[in-house]
Chain A
Amino acid sequence: MRSERSQLMRACPLMILPKGLASAGDPIDFVLPGHRVFLGRDRTLKLDCGVELSEFPVAYQAYGRLNEDKSNAVLVCHALTGDQFMAESHPLTQKEGWWDLMVGPGKPLDTTQYYVLCVNVLGGCMGSAGPSEINSETGEPWGLSFPVITIADMVRAQAMLLDHLGIEKLFAVIGGSMGGMQVLEWAALFPERVFAAVPIASAAHHTAQNIAFHEVGRQAIIADPDWCGGEYWRYGKRPHRGLAVARMAAHITYLSEPKLHEKFGRRLQNREGLTYGFDADFQVESYLRHQGISFVERFDANSYLYITRAMDYFDMAARYSGGLAKAFVDTPIRFCVISFTSDWLYPTVESRRIVHALNAVAANVSFAEIVSNSGHDAFLLDEPEFHRVLKGFLGGAAQHRGLPKTPTE
């Protein structure tokens, strides 16, 4: 592994924004912060679809310091539309990182104690191999010729990055939503490389309803004439409208009815009364439009197709005859499964299914259902009980792993 590592040691501190995201006709590439390495030279990445990827980029960001024996690494797996910039101002939107509340000194993922990594998933659009990246063989973006990837493929790519970084075993792998799916795959594929695993607001398979919502999003993109059969970059276009509609529909599933009611009710947007037209009369409409518009600034439409597909294909139990529990037989990992009461996208019953499977193999598992009315998005928000539980679980796990306690504890 050492020779492989030295060969692969080509981490660049900066990277170029993938072509697909550069605004139409803009010749100037935007430079993203963070790290980017090319993997798969010595050993290709064999994808579930049969294609083998060689020399593919993986972009990641890291916070905190790796300790001497490399035992304090925490991998955070991001969700569908997340990226590696979880605890800093986002390079494209300048908004705070999606897990700023969770990652940093004194926070549950305390960067004075842990080395916290986040990797842009395979199929993503923030530096890792995906449809908007350049295919080195053709010299132009992959587009729809990029192979269809799976959650397991994402995890295998992350494992290759860890090989590259010389990290044998993660202290913890943590993720919400699609990140939780990656956590489960980590536990199933590389049980010896994970000490603790925390799937949050997640599921071990995509339900018909999950697939249905994703299909609405994909069809919105495909129906946009600017999608151009998936080759929009050729024509200097981007399917903004389709992608925004996809985001709007998806965003509803991340909230809850009580939360929407609390946030917006039937309140009107900057007007005294109804306009009897199709303007955004209601605040909730205006909010969703804003969500859609701001999303397209930072996300690639084809990536959205690929990643939602990977999630739809996710069904861990199907891979093992005899059910989900078979994926975790003799697992040495300490699990902490967390769900939220108002999450109807990945409801508690799905987390409980995971817990039941883990109990069936007598795994070491904690499970907490957090009371919240914020819906699926609760894992991104200021939920003190959730943060307390996660911090406590990690503290207990760190003690068993023999990691030093933080000074604040």
Chain B
Amino acid sequence: MLLRYAARRLLAAIPVLLGVTIITFLILRLTSGGFVPGLELNPSLRTEDVDRIRHNLGLDAPLPLQYLTWLAGLLHGDFGRSLTDGQPVLDHILERLPNTVELTLTAVVLAVLIAIPLGVAGALRRGTIVDHLTTALSVAGVAVPAFWLGLLLILVFSVSFHAWGLPWLPSGGAFDPADEGDVGARLLHLVMPATVLAFGYLAVWSRYTRSSMLEVLAQDYVRTALAKGMSGRRMVAVHALRNAVAPLITLIGLELPTLVGGAAVVEIVFGWPGIGQLALERALDHDYTTLMGLATFTGIAVVAGNLVADVLYAVVDPRIRL
């Protein structure tokens, strides 16, 4: 049953994925044209040579044909080669991907672990100082620009702490350049980027948990459980929490596109060597094959994430599986 549900969702995801690649392809190719990085500006190349190179790379073919050629390669698992260095695009992406996954996963886990208790506390202690504080935090949290928060954290915890002779956090990168395998240093590098990325989502998700918890607390089965003498704590743990938090799974799935984009900004602020950083580097070089690969990859990640969220939701809430 669950398997059939998942299969149906998977089939529906294929046209969406195709659409994502077509739109990205059109936007990128219509804006950048048949540009080959570094060639136009090279004085030792004649125009005929540039044209020949462009022809060999297939950049002079009609756009629909270029797209189909690229798509045919993709179906064989071939993302093409980078226009900047001729290396396979997939190698570049796979080299950076673990760092982005590490950053986003940490941020999501951090945000969920803090947001749920905050939201539950706000709902259970409605109207008290606890509730007002968490509400204020969430209203402010969504309005803070992530890059600015990142810069402020760097100013305080890296620059000022260093100046004051306190233990300070590294301001950029993902690991100690002298010893890449040092896990402790990796964790230290992760603290600030993950905090910044988690902050905005923490605000939204705690707000959501609060309102959905309030809704659940007003349900008849909650009153029944309390009337039959169940303790408040046990009622929250057994009945309310599960029903209140289930919709959050869908919400997290829906936030994936902004999560990927937000991770890109955080990666750039903290010099985190993930795929967002790679995207900016390659975009500045007009390396459109790498960009297409990255966009496709993030598109797949978003669609797959939504799929996992839907299936997880069906696991948690059996009413969906109809």
Partners in one complex: no
List the interface of chain B (C-beta within 8 A of A).
none
List the interface of chain A (C-beta within 8 A of B).
none
